[in-house]
Every structure is written in structure tokens, then in C-alpha cells.
Amino acid sequence: MIAIDLGSNTLRFVEFDCKSREFGRSYEKMVKTADGLTHSGIIGREAYRRIVDTILDAQKVFDFSAHEVLAVTTEAMRRATNSNEILSDVYRDTGISFDIISGEREALLTLEAVKYRLELLGIDGSFVVLDIGGASTEVIFCYADEIVTESFPVGIVTTTQRYKTLDEIGNSISKDMRDIDKFVKNTYDKYGVVDSFVATAGTPTTIAAMKLGQKYDDYRPETINGTLLSVEDLDRELKYLLSLSAKEREMLVGVGRDDLISAGILIYRELFEIIGLGSCIVIDDGLREGVALQSCK
């Protein structure tokens, strides 16, 4: 089967064999679904065109006709007033039908993928997962007998477009994430502090890749899974990223991603402070993998 995740920033595809429970080829591209959403309230036609073009490109990589295809989409489509129109046009032009899932459903599917990867890594105990997306952040607590999750409207695309500079983001981020802070404290008060802190999505994986000396074109997910990051790593890589020329930043994190990654690091850093643990386990697997795993149960 092929699982597709249309996020607020990136469109991701992955093959999965239900019998062997092994992942095959993957493909992803930044489409900036949420571009302009903060100010307009809609998905723009430019974003729509990028989504369609990327699906058509992916159809050159995967034989969609030979597989079951499950496609989901998240916060940008949840928030946009024209999401039904956009998705209808996408289906007309590509044959792919997307299901707009709730924040809770998104979190549980992401959790499915993270648990799968942590088991392979031999990591057990309670944990919290942060999925930092383009228009939202999902916070998922997993205890032995309890899962506690909530979605918050703080994302790297919407935050980047809400403020003019990194300094403005830095000065406002604590206020913007006050609800997340309250949620984490209330969860800790009720269930206790978790053993591990896990993060997925583009910002954590990009910082992990930078720490490992990888550039955008030689990114290898199998080396990212299980990488540990600290606040010091975030500070160092942000300082390094900002010291580079525009061309060097493109080579490091990808075309059109440097401003998003910079904003994402500030969001990620604030989450580090809120969670209160010294290190974070980075996992490349996310929603698309969760969709595949859940569909094969």
C-alpha cells in the first residue's frame, strides 16, 4: 500500500508491505500548503498547484494503480475555509482523495509510527512525542495505561508568516505556547513526568541531520532515527545556519526552507523548556508511516 500525508508544509509518500511490515520507497516535497493561510484563511491556488504537481511527480515514482492508496491531510485543511473545494480539485486532477483528519486522529496515527520505531530501537518506558508541523503542533503523552494528546495551532509556516523577524518570534513564542505549557504541566501533575522526550517532523530531523554532518540532498532517515538532541545542539545549529550565505543555507536545509527551519528551532527550543528533559530522541517516522501501519492491522 501507499500512504500519503499532505501536511501544512510537506507532502510525503511511503510504500508499506503489510505482510512483511516493512517500509519501501519514500518520496516527499515541500508544498507549503499553509502559505498565506494566517492572513487569508484559505489555501491559495499556488499551493494547490504545488500539491497537484507533486502528486503527479510521485506517480512517476510509485505505481499507484497497483497499490491501495490512503491519503490524509491535516491542520491547514482543517483550518482553511476552502479546503473542500481544493481537495475536490486535487481529486479531479490526480485521482487521489484526501481525508481531512482531526488533530486527535493525527496524533494517534503519529504515535503508532513512533511506537513502532522506538520498539525497533529498543527504547521503552513512558514518553512524550512532539510533532511540529507547518500549522500545528501535536503533543502526545504515552504512559503504560494512558494516552493523553492535544493539538495546538502553532506551526512553523504560520509562525513564520505571522511575524516579520526571528527576534519577533523569539519575543512572542512563550506567549504563543502558553496553552501547551499549561497542558504539559497538567499532564505531569496527573500522570507524572515521562521517561523520554521524542520529536518528529521536519525541524527535529533537519537539526539531527545537521548534527550528523548531512546536507539536504544526502539526508538518510535510517541514520536520523534515535539521534539525541539537546538545547545546546539547537542553539549551535541555529547560529551556524544564520552564519551561512543564502546559497549555503539552501544546500544545507533545502530551497525555501531556511526561514522555516529557523522559526522551527525557536519553537522546538521553547518546547524543550516546557518538557523539562535534557535530551530529545529524534524519529523520522511520522503520520504517513502511522497511516500505513494502522491500515494493515
Collect all residues with Cβ–Cβ distance below 8 Å to 14 and sequence separation of at least 6: 2, 3, 23, 24, 25, 26, 27, 288, 289, 292
Instruction: Tell the residue number behind the cell numbers 513512558, with chain if given.
Output: 126
Q: What is the pLDDT of residue 35?
A: 87
- State pLDDT tens for residues 51-103: 999 999 999 888 888 888 999 999 889 989 999 999 999 999 999 999 999 98
Query: Average pLDDT of 212-233?
Result: 89
DSSP sequence for 41-89:
SS--HHHHHHHHHHHHHHTTTS-GGGS-EEEEE-HHHHH-TTHHHHHHH
Asked if the domains 2-103 and 120-288 are classified in one and the same CATH topology, the answer is yes
Mean pLDDT of 188-205: 93
Cβ partners under 8 Å of residue 15, min gap 6: 1, 2, 23, 24, 25, 26, 62, 67
Tell me what the pLDDT averaged over the chain comes to.
90
Model confidence at 250, pLDDT cuts 50, 70, 90, reads confident
Residue 159 is predicted with a pLDDT of 87
- Grid cell digits, residue 124: 521503552
Which pLDDT score is estimated for 196? 94
- Greatest CA separation for the chain: 51
Q: Output the pLDDT for position 283.
A: 93
CA angle 295, 74, 154 (to 5 degrees): 135
Q: From residue 251, how far is each of 30, 210, 236, 258 by CA, in Å? A: 15, 11, 18, 10
**Is 276 or 9 the better-scoring residue by pLDDT?**
276
Per the CB < 8 A criterion, the answer to whether 282 and 225 are in contact is yes
pLDDT value of residue 100: 96
Cα 91 from Cα 98, distance rounded (Å): 8
Cell of 286: 511520522
Quick: pLDDT tens for 281-291.
Answer: 999 988 999 99
Q: Could you say which architecture CATH assigns to the domain 2-103?
A: 2-Layer Sandwich (3.30)
- What is the model's pLDDT at position 186? 97
Q: Is the pLDDT of residue 180 over 90?
A: yes
Provide the pLDDT for residue 3. 94
Looking at residue 231, its pLDDT comes to 94
Q: Report pLDDT for 257.
A: 78
Q: Note the pLDDT of residue 164.
A: 83
pLDDT for residue 256 is more than 80: no
261: which 3 cell numbers? 527551519
Give which of 27, 29, 33, 45 is closest to 7, Cα–Cα: 33
Residue 34, pLDDT score: 87
Mean pLDDT for the stretch of residues 142-154? 90
Beta-carbon count within 10 A of 227 CB: 19
Percent of the chain with pLDDT over 90: 54
Topology (CATH) of 120-288: Nucleotidyltransferase; domain 5 (3.30.420)
Q: Parse the chain into domains and list their residue ranges.
A: 2-103, 120-288
Helix, strand or coil for residue 134?
A: coil
